[in-house]
Chains A and B, each alone.
Chain A
């Protein structure tokens, strides 16, 4: 069974009194350990799709299901719980809290969810991303690649079923970007997460199991390898 399922999903926004269709009838299923790349120009709907997939937003029409559960049926508290348990996010600009140490950043989702043993889990995730030993540092003491590793460790802290990455290599040089992509792919396989990554990078797209080309909110082409 697919972990994430989008059925004819559309999303409209109101901008200056005008309706703007950000997604238009997208259908997609992502399974365990599957790595999906979303490609397309800026404004084609990649980020919107990630938000819907992460239960951060509701579709205007169609259905988003996470492990069979429709996100539209959830209230705010249930959505929050769903994110705490099932979804992890990675952002282009890392989005680490500069007031917290590396270790505390990774612990944060666990602490917010009230999970016991947060410290041990965080240290384990840091080992996964090969940053063990750097837990006591602050984000500004790390390189860009290291910061993105921390962000990945944080996204995996609570063992989510879905990992959503929005341009994770966008702020990195090519070499570091490649390392991060390989890490994401490895962890997707090892942790059996359903990973969706929005990207402009052709290299990133070439590594994934499924390639979704978005154009003006529509899934123009879905290629499975």
Chain B
């Protein structure tokens, strides 16, 4: 079964490596996805223990709720918590900061020093102990931070740096995750958030019914306060990450689709080459099933070898992928830390299943063809040239039907929140292209033959004739490379369009001269605040015309995390030109918000929650629940989770915390921005604040954007590499199958250079046809990606844009790679012994 392939080790190696790369990419994305997003574990679940319910409220749970719960006549364990982030200013690492009632709960976490001995808060009096606990500079750290009791650790909390004292080291209750623990009172002081806690965890009596308790407790709590099973937030985040994982997972399958084309081609070649062998074994008593099993077995062996190569390769690739994915999850979705990459029995099974499964399925058609070969015909004809048996008219009709179905599928709405019909449309389009490619290859290579002969000589004429003659094989190769090129083009157009849309959007959306936020890595769901006195100082600076304050909160709406933000409309600036669904001027829309129960929401919010302009939604704010009317929807590309925006004065009525999370500073006319920046930096002495100029902020946004899509480019590159390797392998097969012709050409006076040129022209023609077909297919796929899949997955309206330079560059690289892939087969062709070749038959 494998002997004929073993006789061509280079080609076999290329095929196995191509399948291996396909398997590796799928495995890498699966492993990295599980580590970075799939097994999402919120940092805030550290030290959460085995509680049953959690109590939350937008902007924090009023402390009175703790008292209400504590006074209920039930045997409940109540654990209020503060949850935020601190930045270690020495390592610049962002660490989860958790505030617990250490007087009540400290013993549960058995504070110990690094050697494992129990450590008391101090050796002094009870009064000193209590004071030390409540000190915002007293912290306990996880053992993984490698700090000892008594050491100092400078922590930036919001915009202030506190020189904290390590009072103890936590035992390994938090796994390997780095965390900072404070007493709840100290945390409230450090965070400057008084009178509220972020979450209350509740342990119910054993064997309790969660739903009953949820109802019972909700009844005694204020309307804005929600009681839900513990970990619901983590589940919400997991749900939110699902679409992100889905799309990456599907992208990772492209390389495998390309691999499938190549296996189909390999087995087809095997069937044709071994036609006489099939005849002999059939004559010797083998039945059709044996022949089918032999060819499927050959494919399965290829798939198995590919899977075995793909396993270690995938594990290595997962290391790089997890970094890229974690950065995207952090900046676009939620603060989290990727888990370890673990190659489980399940992932090994996935690799084997994907490798062998894809190989066997793609070999099914040629293997069935082999099965139907009649022994008499096979032996009589012996080995024959690969004859095109394409039914052009029929294939074109099928292609047209498939394309029509793709157009229909693209118009259907999302199913269960997933763009399943969008995916179906892409598959149908790829299938349509696969059917249309033989006709395209045939027409172009025939038309081009004469022209190429005139332009590049007899070698080009021979090359184009040869490609047209082995139409079926050529079509499969062109199909494989075209699929890879199409995905590259479509994703390139999608990302390019998205990038251009974001750049144009930022030009309107960011009118201020400077933007300020507390130092530290920006991440979705993390909103550190700027001290109120600093805001006043900046606003009072001479060169500052206006300061606009923005406050953001993470809230849970309709079972999904959402960003609730308020903007200071008293300093609304005419420069602000947001783009609304209604097309109205910004000033007119913002006027509707001023002092009213009105909100505007971002575009992704409307898709995620199925609401629109004119709808009224109820938001939990503090301990209240309030109704707001959506007066318009604005285009926004900052966050996928969705924004709700209202007037700052309105939000302050519900959540009276005046500290903003971001500032937009407008420079007074006639003042030099550089001077104002200097003034701001001087005013911010003692605060850790990042000051971005308008230009810096846009550059930073584009940098994050590019980082987000780096993984997509990497996936496309692998698909193209797989296809190019396939082309090299297939050219090797073409050379071997045409050795008689190549030998004859030597007899007829062809030089080594001419033979070499002929093979390279064939590679070049394959590349050209694939680029052409891939470009056309890619354009249509990009329409589905931009207007269907992206829209239904993430809810963003992207304006179509041709990234001409990127596409030209990428297509040129693919073309060059295809020609280069012909170098080795060309060398093999030159080394063939013409005497042996011509007398073989």
Contact A93 B749 (CB under 8 A): no
B701 within 8 Å of A (CB atoms) = no
Contact A57 B835 (CB under 8 A): yes
Contact B750 A99 (CB under 8 A): no
Task: Report which of B461, B469, B747, B754 forms a contact with A89, defined as CB distance below 8 A.
Answer: B747
Known contacts A56-B747, A77-B751; is A111 also within 8 Å of B458 by CB? Answer: yes
Interface string of A92-111 (1 = CB under 8 A from B): 01010111100010001101
Complex Cα gap A99–B750 (Å): 17
Known contacts A77-B751, A80-B750, A95-B838; is A112 also within 8 Å of B745 by CB? Answer: yes
B740 contacts across to A, CB distance below 8 A: 95
B287 within 8 Å of A (CB atoms) = no
Q: How far in angstroms is the closest Cβ of chain B from A187?
A: 18
A91 contacts across to B, CB distance below 8 A: 838
B625 within 8 Å of A (CB atoms) = no
A76 within 8 Å of B (CB atoms) = yes
| Chain A: CB-nearest residue to B748 | A109
Interface string of A57-85 (1 = CB under 8 A from B): 10000000000000000001100100110
B835 contacts across to A, CB distance below 8 A: 51, 56-57
A179 within 8 Å of B (CB atoms) = no
Known contacts A93-B841, A108-B458; is A56 also within 8 Å of B748 by CB? Answer: no
Contact A99 B747 (CB under 8 A): no
B365 within 8 Å of A (CB atoms) = no
B469 contacts across to A, CB distance below 8 A: 98-99
B168 within 8 Å of A (CB atoms) = no
For window 725-769 of B, CB contacts with A under 8 Å fall at: 740-741, 744-752, 754
A113 within 8 Å of B (CB atoms) = yes
Contact A80 B748 (CB under 8 A): no
B347 within 8 Å of A (CB atoms) = no
B827 within 8 Å of A (CB atoms) = no
Contact A112 B754 (CB under 8 A): yes
Known contacts A97-B741, A99-B468, A99-B469; is A47 also within 8 Å of B748 by CB? Answer: no
Interface string of B375-395 (1 = CB under 8 A from A): 000000000010000000000
Task: Report which of B466, B748, B839 forms a contact with A108, defined as CB distance below 8 A.
Answer: B748
B461 contacts across to A, CB distance below 8 A: 104, 111
Task: Report which of A80, A83, A97, A99 forms a contact with B744, defined as CB distance below 8 A.
Answer: A97
| Chain A: CB-nearest residue to B387 | A98
Q: How far in angstroms is the closest Cβ of chain B from A218?
A: 21
Task: Report which of A47, A51, A98, A112 forms a contact with B749, defined as CB distance below 8 A.
Answer: A112
Task: Report which of B466, B749, B752, B841 forms a contact with A113, defined as CB distance below 8 A.
Answer: B749
| Chain B: CB-nearest residue to A154 | B748
| Chain A: CB-nearest residue to B459 | A112
B465 within 8 Å of A (CB atoms) = yes
A113 contacts across to B, CB distance below 8 A: 749
Complex Cα gap A93–B383 (Å): 14
Interface string of B631-652 (1 = CB under 8 A from A): 0000000000000000000000
Interface string of B151-190 (1 = CB under 8 A from A): 0000000000000000000000000000000000000000
A54 within 8 Å of B (CB atoms) = yes
Contact A98 B754 (CB under 8 A): no
B422 contacts across to A, CB distance below 8 A: none
Q: How far in angstroms is the closest Cβ of chain A from B697?
A: 61
B749 contacts across to A, CB distance below 8 A: 80, 83-84, 109, 112-113, 158
A47 contacts across to B, CB distance below 8 A: 839
Q: How far in angstroms is the closest Cβ of chain A from B454?
A: 11
For window 393-413 of B, CB contacts with A under 8 Å fall at: none
Complex Cα gap A77–B751 (Å): 7
Q: Interface residues of B, CB < 8 Å — how many? A: 26
Task: Report which of B468, B747, B752 forms a contact with A83, defined as CB distance below 8 A.
Answer: B747
Contact A76 B748 (CB under 8 A): no
Complex Cα gap A84–B746 (Å): 10
B528 within 8 Å of A (CB atoms) = no
Known contacts A80-B750, A80-B751, A98-B469; is A112 also within 8 Å of B744 by CB? Answer: no
B465 contacts across to A, CB distance below 8 A: 97, 99-100
Contact A112 B748 (CB under 8 A): yes
B834 within 8 Å of A (CB atoms) = yes
Task: Report which of B458, B466, B838 forms a contact with A99, defined as CB distance below 8 A.
Answer: B466
Contact B385 A89 (CB under 8 A): no
Q: How far in angstroms is the closest Cβ of chain B from A76?
A: 6
B462 contacts across to A, CB distance below 8 A: 97, 99-100
Complex Cα gap A154–B748 (Å): 9
| Chain A: CB-nearest residue to B740 | A95
Contact A98 B385 (CB under 8 A): yes
Known contacts A97-B741, A99-B469, A112-B754; is A89 also within 8 Å of B748 by CB? Answer: yes
| Chain A: CB-nearest residue to B745 | A112
Best-surrounded residue of A47, A84, A97 (most CB of chain B within 10 A)? A97
Complex Cα gap A84–B461 (Å): 19
Contact B458 A76 (CB under 8 A): no
Complex Cα gap A47–B841 (Å): 14
B458 contacts across to A, CB distance below 8 A: 108, 111-112
Q: How far in angstroms is the closest Cβ of chain A from B87?
A: 70
Q: How far in angstroms is the closest Cβ of chain B from A220?
A: 23
Complex Cα gap A113–B241 (Å): 65
Contact A54 B747 (CB under 8 A): yes
Q: How far in angstroms is the closest Cβ of chain A from B785?
A: 39
Best-surrounded residue of A93, A104, A111, A154 (most CB of chain B within 10 A)? A111
For window 801-841 of B, CB contacts with A under 8 Å fall at: 834-835, 838-839, 841
A109 contacts across to B, CB distance below 8 A: 748-749
B457 contacts across to A, CB distance below 8 A: 111
Complex Cα gap A109–B745 (Å): 8
Interface string of A105-144 (1 = CB under 8 A from B): 0001101110000000000000000000000000000000
A112 contacts across to B, CB distance below 8 A: 458, 745, 748-751, 754
B834 contacts across to A, CB distance below 8 A: 56
A51 contacts across to B, CB distance below 8 A: 835
Complex Cα gap A3–B753 (Å): 29
Complex Cα gap A89–B839 (Å): 13
B747 contacts across to A, CB distance below 8 A: 54, 56, 83, 89, 95
Contact A95 B745 (CB under 8 A): no
Complex Cα gap A51–B275 (Å): 31
Complex Cα gap A76–B745 (Å): 14
B385 contacts across to A, CB distance below 8 A: 98
For window 194-214 of A, CB contacts with B under 8 Å fall at: none
B754 contacts across to A, CB distance below 8 A: 112
A95 contacts across to B, CB distance below 8 A: 740, 744, 747, 838
Q: How far in angstroms is the closest Cβ of chain A from B230?
A: 73
| Chain B: CB-nearest residue to A105 | B748
Complex Cα gap A56–B462 (Å): 22
Complex Cα gap A108–B750 (Å): 9
Q: How far in angstroms is the closest Cβ of chain A from B462?
A: 8
Q: How far in angstroms is the closest Cβ of chain B from A48?
A: 9
Best-surrounded residue of B747, B839, B841 (most CB of chain A within 10 A)? B747
Complex Cα gap A91–B834 (Å): 13
Complex Cα gap A56–B468 (Å): 30
Interface string of B444-460 (1 = CB under 8 A from A): 00000000000001100
Contact B466 A76 (CB under 8 A): no
Complex Cα gap A109–B744 (Å): 11
Complex Cα gap A45–B40 (Å): 77
The 8 closest A-B pairs by CB, nearest first: A84-B749, A111-B458, A99-B465, A99-B469, A80-B751, A109-B748, A112-B749, A83-B749
What would 8 more interface pairs be, CB under 8 Å, given A56-B834, A100-B462, A154-B748? Answer: A54-B747, A56-B746, A56-B835, A83-B747, A89-B748, A95-B740, A111-B457, A112-B748
10 contacts between A and B (CB under 8 A): A54-B747, A77-B751, A95-B747, A95-B838, A99-B468, A108-B458, A109-B749, A111-B457, A111-B458, A113-B749
